[in-house]
Chain A
Amino acid sequence: MTDSVSTAAQTPEVEQPWSELGLKADEYATIRAHLGRRPTSCELAMYSVMWSEHCSYKSSKVHLRQFGEKAPRTDALLVGIGENAGVVDVGDGYAVTFKVESHNHPSYVEPHQGAATGVGGIVRDILAMGARPIGVMDPLRFGPLDAADTRRVMPGVVAGVGTYGNCLGLPNIGGEVVFDPSYAGNPLVNALCVGVMRHDAIQSSGATGVGNLVVLYGAKTGGDGIGGVSVLASETFTDSGPTKRPSVQVGDPFMEKLLIECTLELFGDDLVVAIQDLGGAGLSCATSEMASGGTGGMRVELDRVPLRDSTLAPEEILMSESQERMMAIVEPAKIEAFMAVCERWDVLATVLGEVTDTGRLVVTWHGETVVDVPPRTVAHEGPVYSRPYTRPTWQDALQADAPTPERLPRPSTPAELRATVLRMAAAPNLADKAWVTEQYDRFVLGNTVLAQPEDSGVLRIDEQTGLGVALSTDCNARFAKLDPYEGARLALAESYRNVATVGARPLAVTNCLNFGSPEDPQVMWQFAEATRGLADACLELGVPVTGGNVSFYNQTGDTAILPTPVVGVLGVLDDVTRRTPQAFTEPGQVVYLLGETRDELGGSEWAHEVHAHLGGLPPRCDLDVERALGEILINASRDGLLDAAHDLSDGGLAQALVESCLRGGVGMRVWVPDGIDPFVFLFSESPGRAVVAVPRSEEVRFTDMCTARRFPHQRIGVLDAGDEDGPALDVQEQFSIWLSELRAAREAPLPRAMA
């Protein structure tokens, strides 16, 4: 018997499983108040998924508001926060849309499908903005490299990201691979997608135009991920491991490839009034959000939804997270043309209903009304919590535990320094990531100018003019644990710096905020501080947040992950041929270190790798310095003054030199400047720094530029092909290491761990 609206109105006392569906008692009461009766089981399903943390952002909204309130004024922003993704003007009539999202919990349960569907979801978000997706990136975080569960999770996640992205024909141009004990049991799989379109092609998602048709197209609906959103994302794992197996979605990238081509043709032929992709909460989300954002009402016949599994109940259909589905609003006069395009691409399309102006979302099931709700209450007026937050009791002690020489013995002799450089080169977080990145196609579409391990991914947008975009995603979660406010600022600084390093001008920001349970006031404090830090930093640097994602409940039992606010920055290059790559390739060129180096080892990779230590304060973040450094790198790139550039981050100067030398196969003679301790010189992680290789012919022009801007710059070495024994990294009066030895050390860890 169907639980219809009239039945619900007549049976107010029926017990409903609101708790099992993830709702709290007061939320259930609010629903009853909104409707003036008890909800039907379909309505209950709809509210439960849409009011889950993942969909409603109920714990984060009050803090995320800052991104809008403190948004810097910029002409570059065409669409800000609120839509599926932000849209940025990059010039010549082109608009670029980008966003990063999480699919963390599903990736712990079923690594391959969890990661694959994460990619699928973010690609559809970009598609729904009206853009052709042109690239993806994947910031990944796992438990320790040598942990047994990492051996289960990592290959599956990488295979999932690779299989889905490769099959869609989207080049993977960058990302991160980070290992830390706090992610054991809570891997982080964040996926970014970037797309391009013409200005006048931006799509919206509000269902407007009374009488316009509501069309569901793409894959059939099955039992995938039922309750995935409300059940999985709002529940931390018990220590006994994953038990929610049936809630994982299964993706079909071939279907999504057809969906992309079909949708772009629909856009091109102007057959779509509005569009929305079906992601978390599936039909519940698409119908309520589209109705809420448009003329205000919608009528849908749920039994028209094409099913893979004919036994699904209407509640399940509403909650299903079957992949590769989109919802479009189409004028009746254009529906035939719409259907013809779908048929050409062999994509199933079904008219489910129409747009109304009743201010109600009405869903019927075989003639009976099973949903009759004000869509705003479902989609945009969900609960908003001001969760309590308190600074952790251990924060002071943590910050006081600084990595002083007394606390953490430092290498001082040449032999010790040499050994440390080799050890650091082989540290899991710094080691070569080819085992991961060689599973990704970076060539497809033929527009990839730079891809991992370069500092940013660079994609050409216009073959004639050379216009292009650069993207980077970054976060040092250890810094964020030491000081979430500073850590978030440092994450933005690093991403901004990475974009500037290749010669691109940073324009906009996306973010994926991965945290523990918002019900833990200490975690909530971390979140509040991080969002405040990021918002303040964006305002200072003049780059607005265009959208992003929050993932809470990343914890097992009482142990939350390191607060991990991943920041993605998008920049623009007027001419991609002028980009500055990372490799040192020309013996004889001089190498300059830009920026100031201080004794800042708090949260450093050295402290982590050598001493398993996390304490003290993170390096000091100075955004004026970052802006100035960026200007130099961008102008020098445009003027052709640099042969290579690499910014400094994890592992400090040593890591940057190792990477640039190995990438180009050219060695370097380095001298430690007077007055600085060699250990600090090599391993400090002060931000606001970069190394550049300058052709001798440009040296004066370059140093003049730095001097005119009063930016610290220091000649620290010269590139050297080496003798008959091969190239080496030669730190004068300290030690020398063959590049071959460094390469062997760097390239061994991941393949060995995954063998």
Chain B
Amino acid sequence: MSVVVEVMPKPEILDPQGQAVLNALHRLGFSEVAGVRQGKRFELELTGELDEAVLARLEEAASTLLANPVIEEHTVHVGSTVHDEAGDEPSPAGV
């Protein structure tokens, strides 16, 4: 069982990385995109079962470590992790 935590910059926070990505998209001709905000996604594999108590603990982990509440919001999703590419290893080049 695994849990996904998504962390995004708060709407009122300047997101320079998102802005840079938007500029790059526009330079490449993707005028259809009006805005970009860049965040992080954490895939947490659990050692045991997921119940209300564990969920509360994960919420605490999210708000004390994974996200900085001063500048970020977070959401916790329950479910299995998703690999869109059928079983492929991620490319070593990453990026």
Contacts and interface: CB of A to CB of B under 8 A. Distances in A.
Contact flag (A, B; Cβ within 8 A)? yes
Nearest to A222: B92
Contacts of B95: 110, 112-113
B89 A113 contact: no
A110 B89 CA distance: 19
Nearest to A225: B92
A221 to B, nearest CB: 12
Nearest to B92: A223
A110 B92 contact: no
B47 interface: no
A223 B93 CA distance: 9
Interface in B61-95: 89, 91-95
A682 to B, nearest CB: 39
B94 A250 contact: yes
Contacts, number: 24
Interface string B42-71: 000000000000000000000000000000
Interface in A185-243: 222-226
Interface string A288-314: 000000000000000000000101000
Most A C-beta atoms less than 10 A away, residue of B92, B94, B95: B92
A147 to B, nearest CB: 14
Q: DSSP majority for the A interface?
A: loop
B89 A250 contact: no
A224 B89 contact: no
A726 interface: no
Contacts of A245: 91, 93
Contacts of A224: 92
A388 interface: no
Q: How many B residues touch the partner, as a band?
A: under 10
B89 A246 contact: no
Interface string A113-130: 100000000000000000
A248 interface: yes
B93 A311 contact: no
Interface residues of A, number: 14
B93 to A, nearest CB: 5
Contacts of B92: 222-226, 246, 248, 250
A222 B95 CA distance: 16
Contact of B89 (A226, A248, A309): A309
A246 B94 CA distance: 9
Interface in A243-271: 245-246, 248, 250
A151 to B, nearest CB: 9
A323 to B, nearest CB: 11
A226 B92 CA distance: 10
B64 to A, nearest CB: 22
A309 B94 CA distance: 14
A718 to B, nearest CB: 47
A113 B93 CA distance: 8
B65 to A, nearest CB: 18
Nearest to A321: B92
Nearest to B91: A246
A68 to B, nearest CB: 38
Contacts of A225: 92
Nearest to A223: B92
B95 to A, nearest CB: 7
B74 to A, nearest CB: 24
B19 to A, nearest CB: 14
A309 B89 CA distance: 9
A248 B92 CA distance: 7
Contacts of B94: 113, 250
A527 to B, nearest CB: 31
A223 B91 CA distance: 9
A679 B91 CA distance: 56
Nearest to A110: B93
Contacts of A248: 92-93
A113 B91 CA distance: 14
Contacts of A226: 92
B25 to A, nearest CB: 15
A112 B94 CA distance: 12
A283 B9 CA distance: 42
B46 to A, nearest CB: 21
A223 B89 CA distance: 10
Interface string A433-454: 0000000000000000000000
> Which 5 A-B residue pairings sit nearest by Cβ, starting from the closest?
A223-B92, A248-B93, A224-B92, A245-B93, A250-B94
Given A113-B95, A224-B92, A250-B92, 11 more contacts: A110-B93, A110-B95, A112-B95, A223-B92, A226-B92, A245-B91, A245-B93, A246-B92, A248-B93, A250-B93, A309-B89
23 contacts: A110-B93, A110-B95, A113-B93, A113-B94, A113-B95, A222-B92, A223-B89, A223-B92, A224-B92, A225-B92, A226-B92, A245-B91, A245-B93, A246-B91, A246-B92, A246-B93, A248-B92, A248-B93, A250-B92, A250-B93, A250-B94, A309-B89, A311-B89
